[in-house]
Structure 1
């Protein structure tokens, strides 16, 4: 058996849902043609966890249930960094602020200076952990991605203002959930979309979080139920 030695990076992805009780829309963008990972595909904003993410303070963490599920089959200390990465990637790729009004204490990390300039602190309390997927072996890059759902009403900035976004995603747009599958997207994005569509109008957390665990030995479909936070 050949073992895939491609490094697996932890990652966070954010699905922003708008008008969920009327005509649900989700925020998507298109990756560049020269991107090493999933070129030209329409995706949700997201990316890899950086080492510095573990040291960025949050105004509020994810809720206890999501924290417990993030710790399932993972190093517990990762939960904070993954939530921080979700907020950072959303800001970098869309210019949307998931945070609360407040001033940073001490030096602001370089990656967060433009975010801090908006007058907000990163706030993870509105993030709902809904899916996890490990990229199958044989891909040029592999990620252990956690997908978070957040309501557009919890975004602190104008949901139609993408002026602060970097150029990693183009054609940022609010896509009707009913039409999203007509876009050219990765298989796993389609799978996550089905999960989101099934619970678009339900604000309660899922009974458990699906986990596609594609390791070198086999592909497993698991359910993450969570575990209590340490006292």
Structure 2
């Protein structure tokens, strides 16, 4: 609410130290390659922030309950006999805010299948107007350019059943207040 008040956004936040520990499961190899050695930190942060802000846990049934003792949200996973669903997350893009912004972000955006999210939509209060919104209403939302790109790209990939890892993530950054889009280079 302190950043972009009145604007519709997707859940997000920073990588915390406990996010670095990989849980059971592995990401799609192309996604892991694009993210580099810190893949677990980025994917865990995405799963954790989504859970904290929406109450929805992007997960899969636990295959080995003994491996479910990692620090990131272990209570939420263990309580439902779940584990992170890394393999279902696709890497959409990385966005870097303009140098003149009063709050700078270097953010990565991911797409996961909502059918693999368990829980009840009820966030921690960080997001207002928390709801599933039909894609037909996208044009009625107040969005910043990065969020609009992320939502349109996610919708296009979902509608066209683009396989996870088959499209390289894009880099969105600004030059002279103009949004630029380029293909990500490997880390």
| Fold shared by both chains (TM-score > 0.5) | yes
Q: Any idea what the Cα deviations from partners look like across 1:179-205, whole Å, max 9, x if unmatched?
A: 113111222111222323333312224
- Of the three residues 39, 44, 53, the one matched with 1:84 is 44
Q: What TM-score comes out, normalization by structure 1 length?
A: 0.68
* Greater relative contact order, per chain length (Cα 8 Å cut-off, separation 6+): 1
TM-score, normalising length: structure 2 = 0.82
1:184 and 2:149 aligned: no
Deviations 1:11-59 (A, max 9, x none): xxxxxxxxxxxxxxxxxxxxx3xx1x2222211112111122102x322
**1:141: Cα distance to partner?**
2.1
Q: Which runs of 5 or more residues in structure 1 are unaligned?
A: 1-31, 71-75
Matches of 2:58 and 2:107, distance apart in 1: 19
Q: 2:121 is matched with which residue? A: 162
Matched-pair contact (CA < 8 Å) for 1:58–1:123: no
Question: Could you say which residue in structure 2 is the equivalent of 1:7?
Answer: none
RMSD over aligned CA atoms reads: 2.6
Moved runs in structure 1, 4+ residues, more than 4 A?
Answer: 104-108
How many Å apart are 1:127 and its aligned residue?
0.3
Q: Which residues in structure 2 correspond to 1:204-223 (within 5 Å)?
A: 204-205=163-164, 206-214=166-174, 220-223=180-183
1:147 equivalent to 2:109? Answer: yes
CA apart distance, 1:99: 1.7
Shift of 1:120: 1.8
- Alignment of 1:44 onto 2:10: yes
Are the aligned partners of 2:96 and 2:174 in contact in 1 as well (CA < 8 Å)?
Answer: yes
Q: 2: CA distance between counterparts of 1:226 and 1:106?
A: 30
Going by fraction, where is strand more abundant, 1 or 2?
Answer: 1
Selected match of 2:79 from 109, 112, 117: 117
**Cα shift readout 1:65-91 (whole Å, capped 9, x = no counterpart):** 111122xxxxx3221100111111111
Unaligned runs of 5+ in 2: none
Q: Secondary structure at the match of 1:69?
A: helix
1:211–1:223: 8 Å Cα contact kept in structure 2? yes
Task: Look up the match of 2:32.
Answer: 67
State the shift of 1:219 in Å: 6.5
Q: Deviations over 1:92-131 (max 9, x none)?
A: 1111121233335586537543443233222211001112
Q: Which has the higher helix share?
A: 2
Q: Residue 184 of structure 2 aligns with which residue?
A: 224
